[in-house]
Structure 1
Amino acid sequence: SLLESVLLSVSITHVSVLEKSGNRSGKMMAELKDNINRPLAAILTINTIANTVGAAGVGAQTMVLYGNEWVAIASGILTLSILIFSEIIPKTIGAIYNKSLVTFTALTVRGLMMIAWPFVVLSESMSVFINRGENSRESKASREELLAMAEISEDEGSIDEQEGDIIENLIKLDNIPVEEVMTPRSVVFALNQDETVGEVVEKNSPIAFSRIPVYENNMDHIIGFVNRYTLVNKQAEDQFHIKMVDLMKPIHTVKEKESVSDVLDQFVKRRQQIFMVIDEFGTTTGLISLEDAIETLLGVEIVDEHDRVVDMRELATAKMMEKEQSESPHNR
């Protein structure tokens, strides 16, 4: 019962840590848990044989020494003793001290499997028959379980609050659509392709954004982006006549329903820091930056000395409310 308790209660994560550290018992335990029917068959076989033989022996001896009338009493005492000393106490110890008993359990169970090998083979054959037609393997740990593990580790002090938040955000990242974290179109700062360096600097100095989308005719035709430092360099070189279309670089677009996780992968692969966001009809709905994706992962706003507004989504909401109030009949 002690071995069974340790085998079932020790977490796969702890076993994995032992295995990766080169611990021999960790590797053995990983093999046992990977095909848990075999060690369980060995443990239960030996346990059942021991209890059965013990009960039969005690019953026979009681009958010889004290007669039939004492057999029932002896059976009751034996059953209670087995329950306490062979089940409750060993399983409690195994559940509490499972980590420190990994080595002992792994070595002992391997020995029991050799002793009870015929029963192990029989159990494995029965398992194959029962699982026949079942092709998919059950996931070792679901997203919900990983989230729960992160919360438990945070509560126990194994990781701090910030680390716990990052783990939780990372797991949730795949379920967060771009539209929830992007800068809305209404507050996206963009430049016309025909504007010159001189015009841009005169109207927008100092330029607050490091990368600025460039459009043709309107915001639904974004054709690239320009770098703020490129504009500053051209200004320093007195090249005020150069148009944005001659300075811009290509810009990638993503769908607003794509997950932040997928977009973060694209940022890394494309080595870019801003993407335009479009809806299912190809209409521009906003802009997402690498900073937005990282902020979602970290759960905090990243603000530098050039940021005039901390949260662009809040700015968009405020502008929308101002517009609605100005269009209200009470203000006419």
Structure 2
Amino acid sequence: MLIFSAFSSGSETGMMASNKVKLRNISKGSKGAMRALKLLQRPDVLLASILIGNNFANILASAIVTIIMIDYFNGNVLLGSIILTLIILIFSEITPKTIASVYPEKFATKSSWLLKLLVIIFKPLVWLTNILSSRILKIFNVDPMQSATNDNLNSDELRTLLDEHGDLIPMQSREMLSSILGMEELTVEDIMTPHAEIIGIDISQSIEAAQTIIGSSYYSRLPVFKKSIDHVIGMLHLKDSHQFIEALEAGDDVKSILFDTTFISQSTTISIQLSQFQKKDSNLSLVVDEYGEIQGLLTMEDIFTEIVGKFGAAKADLEKEFLIKKDGAVIADGNSKIRELNSFMNWDIDEDGSKTINGTITDFLDQIPQENVCLEIDDYRIEILNIEDNSIEKVKIKKKES
């Protein structure tokens, strides 16, 4: 009886503590794991069967001990109860539950065949007890089937799992996975090229200028506009650049050579936009705000850089962009992104507002600074080093010592 009680206690812990992802992986070559997964599809039936069996074993053991104490120890039932309680506690509860909690999947796999037999044997009794317990559970608004379907992990739980148990994954791969999980939180505005930095072809300028931009472009497509990116005409695929230049030289209309411009909202998440790029077979779009004003440009390369660009060349670029001084201060461009600075320095400057250092300072002052000033934003001291054309060019940022 005590052995069966120990088995029931260990099985309960092993089944409930098992990682279903691990069980699914084991089930590819193990019938026991597959059986355990099927049992976990009805946790209410499984638990009822285990508890009924465990209670039967404990009650029967108690009855046997009582008979023994009456026949051989002058009816000292209290002594028998104390001894039986200690034995059950140590050998039938603590020990098997501890073993099962350390090796839950192994315990669940090995015990699944006997548990399935228990479910069959106690099926009528389980049916009756479940009817009664379900009435009580409804009072507390509890669905016993919910535990069978809530084992899917969200992105935050996956990120925590990766941080705590990702030691066997190479650091480079771990960083990529972390970046992919973070895509649901990032918006287009977070990684786009700002309006002022968009590189495109201005047809109001010379043909030589257009040729220079085409020859130095990193992208396969370029926006074409007249005088300002706000007056965009279309998108030029570089494979059509020769035909485009010939049309400019002949003074012909170039619109027939260009692709239509696609516009996306700055609040669109990166994961959704990546899907849109794939569906539309496009890799470049202009970003607009709620008023339809152009705020920046996003390419497929920007998204890929966000996923794999935490290291390698991109990390080297950040080391050039953020110059760390001996006192711990950082010299940075005004148009540098707050998110990249936080990631590089492990800082926590607020990213909810403006996305660049320039914008953060302007929002804090409620105006464009006209001269070099020093200011403090939260725990950071910021010194403006250079201003040109109403734009902050260089800043020095240092985190205050706590």
Change (3 A) 1:303 1:288: farther
- Does structure 2 conserve the Cα–Cα contact (< 8 Å) formed by 1:276 and 1:284? yes
The runs of at least 4 aligned residues of structure 1 exceeding 4 Å deviation read 131-138, 193-199, 232-235, 301-304, 318-323, 325-328
Within a 5 Å distance, the mapping from 1:1-332 to structure 2 comes to 1-19=9-27, 21=28, 23-68=30-75, 70-126=76-132, 128-129=134-135, 130-131=137-138, 137=146, 139-140=150-151, 141-155=153-167, 157=168, 159-193=169-203, 198-201=208-211, 204=213, 206-210=215-219, 211-216=221-226, 218-232=228-242, 240-241=249-250, 244-300=254-310, 316-317=335-336, 324-325=387-388, 327=390
Change (3 A) 1:97 1:204: closer
How far apart, CA to CA, are the structure 2 residues paired with 1:233 and 1:303?
Answer: 34
Which shows bigger deviation, 290-299 or 278-287?
290-299
Distance apart, 1:118 and its partner CA: 2.0
Change (3 A) 1:93 1:134: closer
Provide Cα deviations, 1:188-228, integer angstroms capped at 9, x if missing partner: 01223566755511x54632232211225532233321123
How far apart, CA to CA, are the structure 2 residues paired with 1:134 and 1:56?
Answer: 35
SS at match of 2:106: coil
- Consecutive unaligned residues in structure 2, runs of 5 or more: 1-8, 322-331, 337-355, 359-383, 392-402
- Does structure 2 conserve the Cα–Cα contact (< 8 Å) formed by 1:190 and 1:212? yes
- Does structure 1 conserve the Cα–Cα contact (< 8 Å) formed by 2:18 and 2:104? yes
Q: Which has the higher contact order (CA 8 A, sep 6+)?
A: 1
Distance apart, 1:79 and its partner CA: 0.4
Change (3 A) 1:296 1:214: same
SS at match of 1:100: helix
Change (3 A) 1:166 1:126: farther
Paired amino acid for 1:32: L
- Consecutive unaligned residues in structure 1, runs of 5 or more: none
Change (3 A) 1:163 1:128: farther
Higher strand share: 2
Provide Cα deviations, 1:277-319, integer angstroms capped at 9, x if missing partner: 0000000000111111112223537869xx9xx98x9683499
Which TM-score applies when normalising by structure 2? 0.69
Which TM-score applies when normalising by structure 1? 0.83
- Does structure 1 conserve the Cα–Cα contact (< 8 Å) formed by 2:247 and 2:254? no
